[in-house]
Amino acid sequence: MIFTAHVNIMPLKELLDPQGKAVNESLHSLGIQAIQNVRIGKHITLFIEAETKEAAHTIADEATKKMLYNAVMESYTITVE
Amino acid sequence: MIFTAHVNIMPLKELLDPQGKAVNESLHSLGIQAIQNVRIGKHITLFIEAETKEAAHTIADEATKKMLYNAVMESYTITVE
């Protein structure tokens, strides 16, 4: 069965996000003042062949740890459907 | 009240995603064969000052359309919490 895993990888809260800051300022100059902060990360969709949802989650977790994210600068969440 | 809007911006299904393809092949060479396809996009978190969840959603939608996504190559989804 094919499961879809959604991996969100974001810069750690403690770290500056210069890209997000630049976008935030640009939104303000476009007149959208209600947005107070912007953080930009990655959204990765993995299509996984597995027997169960839990097995798919384990595979997504392994792939994320081995390759997709940088533990020093980023955190991640995984949801499988 | 501050709402958090999560915007996922992904390359359109019809388009090639060379970055995703490269990651997919690298995962295979790391021994993770169960992953059949990878798509890579952006996850943007917006912190929005608004009166209601619906108002926050409208602001997030406006910001995404005006600045964050490229209608020719990408699609997006927004969830507000």
| pLDDT tens-place string over residues A64-80 | 999 999 999 999 999 99
pLDDT score of A39: 97
Q: Residue A27: beta bridge partners?
A: none
Tokens coding B59? 């602001």
Quickly state the pLDDT bin for A33 (edges 50, 70, 90).
very high
Q: What's this model's pTM, rounded to 2 decimal places?
A: 0.91
Give chain B positions within 8 Å (CB) of A48: 34-36
**Shortest CB distance from A2 goes to which of B6, B36, B68?**
B36
Q: Cβ B38–A30 below 8 Å, yes or no? A: no
pLDDT score of B62: 95
Across all residues in chain B, what is the average pLDDT?
Answer: 95
Best interface-test mutation with B: which of A3, A43, A62, A68 has the largest number of B CBs within 10 A? A43
Domain boundaries along the sequence of chain A: 2-80
**Shortest CB distance from A63 goes to which of B10, B32, B44?**
B32
Q: How far is A81 from chain B (nearest CA, A)?
A: 14
**Shortest CB distance from A38 goes to which of B9, B46, B59?**
B46
Give chain B positions within 8 Å (CB) of A45: 10, 38-41
CB A32 within 8 A of CB B62: yes
pLDDT digits (tens, 9 = 90+) for B29-58: 999 999 999 999 999 999 999 999 999 999
CB A51 within 8 A of CB A71: no
Average pLDDT over residues A52-64: 96
Burial label for A41, CB within 10 Å (0-12, 13-18, 19+), is buried
CB B38 within 8 A of CB B24: yes
Residue B50: count of CB within 10 angstroms of its CB: 19
The CATH classification number of B2-80 equals: 3.30.1280.10
